[in-house]
Chain A
Amino acid sequence: MSDPLLLIGGFLGASVRIATPLLLAATGETVTERSGVINLGLEGMMLAGALAATLGASAVGPWTGLALAVLAGMVLAAVFAAIAIVARADQIIAGTAMTLAAVGLTGTIYREAYGTGGAGLSLPTLAPVAIPGLSRVPLLGPALFVQPVPTYLALLAIPAAWWFFFRTRAGLMLRATGEGAAEARAAGVRTQTVRALATLVGGAFAGLGGATLVLAQVGTFAEGMTAGRGYVAIAIVVLGRWHPLGVAVAALLFGAATALQFVFQAIGLAVPYQLFLMLPYLLTLLALGGAVGRVRAPADLGKG
């Protein structure tokens, strides 16, 4: 039986690490949804980012992988924006189609690139980097400050997003677009441009999230490896009430829920692993039911 303090510390660290891709995608989606666009293609963009990261990392290196992932996410986001924003088609169906396309494209490209053998475990990955000083803080130190770089990016994104939404003019224009697009237009805001840009940002973050999954967690690519994380990210945005801090807490909760299985393993409880697989989704449903009653989405969310 391992030292309980070590167990908790490990649990916290795992929670943060697992939460990172969710947090990245959710932060991006918060920006998107605050402008009034619901992007169900998030899942596909994460997957595309994961594949792009795999290709980039094996070709050049992990940082190239990250950059390519962001690009991949943005490309898909651009297509989605063209359909759902410029052409004003139904956002939800368009997003679902995007994810479908991404699954097909990533599967095809992956088989093309790696054949039936798969990418294997030979990818250069991003190892955790300890922040001097802070990482020595008991309990929280190793959990928060000995993490791969994308985690730090995700953590930094939280205050950055908050500041953007509530302290900048651009953020005000974004919020106005999401809460009242017609009124925002009357005030001179170019709502279509705002929405398109917000969608691109969301795609970039999603791609980054997918890259993190490959380069800082799993270490390789598998078809459909995102397994619904993109949708969980959307639920996290709802749970976090479209506020960066809330989203961060919700993401962490999910990371914790998934990390729970390691705790159980360490303790020695034999629970079928499928239950842990189901847990995040069931938790989401529960939380959505509990939270949404009193929660108010951006007023123009989903409308063309």
Chain B
Amino acid sequence: MLFGVLLLAAGLQLAGYDAVAALGALWRGAFGSWYAFSSATLVRAIPLIIIGLGITLAFRGGALNIGAEGQFYAGAIAATWVGLHVAGRPAAVALPAVLAAAVLAGAAWVVVPVWLQLRYGVLEVISTLLLNFVAGSLVSLMVQGPLQESQHIYPQSDPIAVAARLPVVPGTRLHAGLVLALVAAAGLWYVFARTLWGFRLRAVGAGPRAAAISGQIDARRMTAVALLGSGALAGLAGGIEVSGVSYALFQNLSPGYGFTGIAVALLARLQPLGVVATGLLFGALEAGAGAMQREAGVPAVAVYVVEAVVIVVVLLADSASRQRMARAVV
């Protein structure tokens, strides 16, 4: 992480920006004030944590889910649709309905890759990836068609019913999705560390053949379940974003959460509790990026470079330790 930031600073300096000012803006944007922290950093951290958890689940189970972005949008679409149709109901019904729809939609969006994997052995990397683009187009279709707001002027939906919105900490934009994120992290930790099913899943991801032969585990089915769970979590993130932040659907709702989520999961070494920390870190980074663009004129997309560097460094470290372990055999 540090390396990435240093690299960013170096790059910025080279490109003629005032690196110190830029980094300063980055810091202020992320942590400079209570408002910045709660409404920028934490708000961005929530979907990152949830998606990061989903990716952790998938990766640990031996499935490379690169389609979290699309699953996020699927959840957002479902959440919006339900949110627009529960106007008369009390919050105790509306809110869970919206979130449940998002979870189901996210899982549904990954069903096709799962089926293709089980039946035809299609690499889930490619199938989940391709569906990202389909989801993006679907959102565009929805907000210019069936879900468009009543005046038919802007490509976005009407705001969802008040009952369907997540409660917000007064004075900030921080919403109750944070609770869900933390609960999910604790839950996933428990599953991995303490349950038999979670252990079996880890075994499948770490050694599929041995798990199948010696553990008598149905490896393919477990990986499929992990993928579905991963999609469900990503969908939940989409639903929470609609229900807690935007209250409506529009294009580019996600500034690449699906891909940043991969960096979040990897940097946390696929540990659920670590994902909370790294999600926070990346939330800070992206919150700061906005400020950096506003104040120092550095394009926000530069942040992607940092994320890529993070992934690469983790990869290299992993690879080195794996090779060290192989050499240490007596």
Contacts and interface: CB of A to CB of B under 8 A. Distances in A.
A and B touch in the complex (CB under 8 A): yes
Interface of A: 40, 83, 87-90, 92-94, 96-98, 100-101, 103-105, 107-108, 111-112, 223, 227-228, 231-232, 234-235, 238, 272, 274-275, 277-278, 281-282, 284-285, 288-290, 292-293, 304
B319 A89 contact: yes
Nearest to B302: A108
B79 interface: no
A92 B141 contact: no
Contacts of A292: 116, 120-122
Interface stretch (B44-52, B217-225, B303-311): B303-311
B144 A285 contact: no
A275 B15 CA distance: 40
Contact of A274 (B125, B130, B141, B306): B141
B308 A228 contact: no
B266 A288 contact: no
A224 to B, nearest CB: 9
Which bucket holds chain B's interface residue count?
A: 35 or more
Interface stretch (B131-139, B162-170, B194-202, B204-212): B131-139
A250 to B, nearest CB: 14
Contact of B127 (A89, A98, A277, A288): A288
Nearest to B307: A100
A97 B308 contact: yes
Contacts of A231: 126, 129-130, 133
Contacts of A104: 301-308
Contacts of B122: 288-289, 292
Nearest to A272: B141
Given A92-B64, A96-B311, A292-B122, A83 B132 contact: no
30 contacts: A87-B315, A87-B319, A88-B319, A88-B323, A89-B319, A93-B266, A94-B312, A94-B315, A96-B66, A96-B262, A100-B259, A103-B301, A104-B304, A107-B299, A107-B301, A108-B15, A108-B301, A111-B301, A112-B299, A228-B129, A231-B126, A232-B130, A274-B144, A275-B137, A278-B137, A278-B138, A284-B130, A285-B112, A289-B122, A292-B122
Contact of A103 (B119, B127, B129, B304): B304
Interface in B288-324: 298-299, 301-309, 311-312, 315-316, 318-320, 323
Given A101-B308, A103-B304, A288-B116, A281 B262 contact: no
B140 interface: yes
A104 B301 CA distance: 5
Contacts of B319: 87-90, 304
Nearest to A288: B122
A92 B133 CA distance: 19
A285 B266 contact: no
B15 A112 contact: yes
A146 to B, nearest CB: 31
A97 B260 CA distance: 10
Contacts of A88: 319, 323
A104 B309 CA distance: 11
Interface string B52-82: 0000000000001010000000000000000
